[in-house]
């Protein structure tokens, strides 16, 4: 690994408005590059928006989806990367030649697609197909991985990605401020978002409390710490269909400490310097060296029943 400056962005996306969403990404990419970023990461399915797809039919999903890499949105992202001389990561709904649909996340530069991840555990829409591989790739001397949202909630995926050599893992999300049985969690009243300029304190309390950042801090630092990796977390902010998201895009180091974080109540991007010196001395790398795989056979036993994704969104999907 080498020193690398990475941007983590948050913005309020619009349902199905790819042109608007790409324009918002362009503004934030420009800001990040002006602050020294070599790479800028955006949230899950940020190009068409995400949450509203839970109500779409197969035909509507196919109309929203695009091929990778030849679709217009990925080509626009490549054009944007070329203009700014930066690497960009963003998400969309992918349609393959057989009309299979994927929650896809791409990494591009001005020359084309560097890497593509298909979400391993999709759930928002019943017509999405599971991805079937972990994604690790080289980015100008830095070994990177991608895991999308729920992929990161299964700790095995983060460990495997680290074992495949990842030093930086991009973790695009659409999460927080969701129904939950946990004390203090739940939806945020959209009126608080609408009134954020007059009363920022009430909204910030929701965003920073157990509905938002407080929940992230229960597990996100552990993913970085346990595996000795940099974690780049991205998330939308503001209205996401009929729900409110808290943003809190951030970069965490291999000690689980926050390097940089968005705390604004709106579109923003932060840039963090990721350095190689922390990785070999991190506890996670010591833990990986102490592994005894001969004891872990239970982890790879086929389950007796089909895997079930209970997303916490009120959506349950059998694989």
Give the C-alpha separation, 24 to 48, whole Å.
12
The pLDDT of residue 319: 66
- Tokens coding 203: 């909204």
The mean pLDDT value for 124-139 works out to 97
The pLDDT of residue 316: 73
Give the C-alpha separation, 289 to 269, whole Å.
35
The pLDDT of residue 263: 94
Above pLDDT 70, what percent of the chain? 100
Beta strand residue intervals within the chain, DSSP E: 4-10, 39-41, 87-95, 101-109, 112-118, 135-139, 142-146, 168-172, 230-234, 237-240, 243-246, 250-252, 258-261, 268-274, 308-310, 316-318
Give the C-alpha separation, 235 to 233, whole Å.
7
Q: Can you list the alpha helix ranges (DSSP code H) found in 49-145?
A: 58-64, 72-84
Peptide bond into 279 cis (omega under 30): no
Residue 271 has pLDDT above 70, yes or no: yes
First to last CA, the chain: 36
Residue 307 has pLDDT above 90, yes or no: no
For residue 100, give the 3-state DSSP assignment.
coil
Tell me, what DSSP letter sits at residue 196? Answer: T
The mean pLDDT value for 161-168 works out to 98
What is the rounded (10 degree) CA torsion for 81, 145, 124, 19?
A: 0
Residue range 63-115, pLDDT digits in tens: 999 999 999 999 999 999 999 999 999 999 999 999 999 999 999 999 999 99
Q: What is the largest CA-CA distance in the chain?
A: 59
**Residue 163 Cα to chain centre, angstroms:** 20
- Are 84 and 11 in contact by the 8 Å Cβ rule? The answer is no
Please report which confidence band the pLDDT of residue 309 belongs to, taking 50, 70 and 90 as the band edges.
confident
Domains of the chain: total: 1
The pLDDT of residue 13: 98
**Residue 92 Cα to chain centre, angstroms:** 12
Q: What domain range is 168 assigned to?
A: 4-318
Measured CA to CA in angstroms, residue 6 lies from 121, 167, 230 at distances of: 26, 13, 10
- Tokens coding 22: 């790409």
Contacts of 129 (CB under 8 A, 6+ apart): 100, 101, 102, 118, 122
For residue 261, give the 3-state DSSP assignment.
strand
- Reference 157, options 92, 231, 210; nearest CA is 231
Which one is predicted more confidently, 311 or 40? 40
- Are 198 and 158 in contact by the 8 Å Cβ rule? The answer is no
On average, the pLDDT of the chain sits at 96
The pLDDT of residue 176: 97
Please report which confidence band the pLDDT of residue 304 belongs to, taking 50, 70 and 90 as the band edges.
confident
Strand partners, 232: 170, 251
- Tokens coding 46: 């940020």
The pLDDT of residue 171: 98
Residue range 214-253, pLDDT digits in tens: 999 999 999 999 999 999 999 999 999 999 999 999 999 9
Residue 40 has pLDDT above 80, yes or no: yes
State the number of CA atoms in the 13 A half-sphere of 137 facing the CB. 16
Residue 312 has pLDDT above 80, yes or no: no
The pLDDT of residue 183: 94
Determine if residue 36 is left, alpha or beta; phi over 0 gives left, psi from -120 to 50 gives alpha, anything else beta: left
- Reference 144, options 43, 26, 17, 4; nearest CA is 4
Instruction: Give the domain CATH number at 74.
Output: 3.60.110.10
């Amino acid at each position: 690994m080498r020193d690398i400056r990475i941007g983590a962005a948050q913005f309020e996306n619009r349902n199905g408005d790819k042109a608007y969403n790409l324009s918002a990404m362009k503004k934030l990419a420009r800001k990040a590059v002006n602050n020294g970023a070599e790479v800028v990461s955006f949230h899950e399915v940020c190009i068409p928006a995400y949450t509203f797809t839970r109500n779409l039919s197969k035909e509507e999903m196919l109309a929203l989806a695009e091929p990778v890499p030849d679709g217009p949105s990925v080509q626009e992202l490549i054009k944007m990367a070329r203009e700014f001389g930066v690497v960009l990561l963003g998400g969309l709904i992918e349609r393959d030649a057989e009309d299979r649909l994927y929650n896809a996340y791409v990494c591009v530069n001005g020359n084309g697609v560097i890497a593509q991840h298909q979400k391993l555990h999709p759930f928002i829409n019943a017509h999405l197909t599971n991805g079937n591989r972990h994604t690790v790739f080289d980015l100008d001397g830095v070994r990177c991985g991608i895991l999308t949202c729920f992929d990161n909630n299964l700790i095995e995926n983060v460990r495997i990605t680290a074992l495949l050599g990842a030093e930086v893992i991009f973790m695009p999300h659409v999460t927080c401020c969701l129904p939950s049985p946990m004390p203090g969690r739940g939806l945020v009243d959209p009126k608080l978002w609408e009134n954020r300029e007059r009363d920022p304190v009430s909204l910030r309390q929701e965003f920073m409390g157990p509905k938002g950042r407080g929940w992230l801090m229960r597990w996100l630092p552990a993913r970085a710490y346990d595996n000795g990796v940099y974690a780049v977390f991205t998330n939308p902010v503001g209205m996401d269909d009929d729900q409110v998201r808290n943003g809190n895009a951030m970069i965490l180091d291999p000690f689980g400490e926050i390097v940089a974080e968005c705390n604004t109540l709106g579109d923003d991007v932060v840039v963090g310097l990721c350095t190689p010196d922390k990785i070999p001395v991190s506890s996670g790398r010591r833990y990986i060296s102490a592994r005894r795989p001969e004891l872990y056979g239970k982890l790879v036993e086929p389950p007796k029943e089909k895997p079930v994704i209970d997303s916490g969104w009120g959506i349950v999907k059998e694989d």
